[in-house]
Amino acid sequence: MKYLFDANVFIQAKNWYYAFDICPGFWDWMDYVTKVDVGSIVPVCEELRKGGDELAKWANARRTEPWFLKIDDKDTQKAMSAIAAHVASAGYRPEAQAKFLSGADPWLIAKAQITGAKVITHEQPAPAAKVRVPIPDICDAFGVQWGTPYDALRAMSASFTFKAPG
């Protein structure tokens, strides 16, 4: 995998520019690129499935696809331990640490680190943040590349075009 997508990429796509009814081509494209370039992790899939909406149905239908990578391997576990130790010692508030470490985000970074993938997220760096733990800041601390969905779309030459009926 070249890119591992954060849950917020799917959620914001569904809620905004690439809603299922506005841009079904985005979702068709996702099914295509996940065979080669794009993936995520099982905990992200689980987050998406909790929504009880169209995205939850979409994720549920793909929950056994190999691009939702498992996190139970030794290397991912070891990387996660290092991330947890870093977060615990980086001055974040306890509630921010707990929220971050209980979700999919640290696992996404750990899996990206061991696979050499780039994390794709809508989050932006915030080095002074103490009330939340930004994905880009942890990626930077561990030498994991990160970018926005638009960076990934351009890098993969994605194009969603309109064809007039008839």
**Strands, E assignment, the chain:** 3-5, 38-41, 68-69, 118-120, 146-147
Token pair 């974040």 is found at 92
pLDDT recorded at residue 151: 94
Residues 6+ apart with CB under 8 A from 51: 11
CB-neighbour burial class of residue 49 (10 A; exposed 0-12, middle 13-18, buried 19+): middle
- Tens of pLDDT, residue by residue over 66-76, are 889 999 999 99
Q: Whole-model pTM?
A: 0.94
**In angstroms, rounded to a whole number, what is the distance separating the alpha carbons of residues 12 and 66?**
23
Domains and CATH numbers, the chain: 3-155 (3.40.50.1010)
Query: What's 96's DSSP letter?
Result: H
- Tens of pLDDT, residue by residue over 3-31, are 999 999 999 999 999 999 999 999 999 99
Give the least confident one: 54-68, 72-86, 88-102: 54-68
Model confidence at 149: pLDDT above 90: yes
